[in-house]
Amino acid sequence: MNDSFFLFWNMIELFLFKQSIKRSFQYEGINLTFQRFLENML
């Protein structure tokens, strides 16, 4: 498989991962802090 496909798939997986993390942390009230932490890591 070519690199562009892997890049595209990684973007999708990362997006789904971030969405699931946002959902699981939302009721804790720390989703914004964790989101900022993720964005600083990437």
pLDDT in tens, 1-12: 678 888 999 999
Q: How far apart are CA 31 and CA 11, in angstroms?
A: 20
pLDDT digits (tens, 9 = 90+) for 9-37: 999 999 988 888 777 766 566 667 777 88
Instruction: Output the six-digit token pair for 22.
Output: 């946002």
Residues 6+ apart with CB under 8 A from 31: 21, 22, 25
Q: pTM value?
A: 0.44
Could you tell me the two tokens for 38?
């993720």
Question: Distance between CA atoms of 33 and 19, rounded to whole angstroms?
Answer: 14
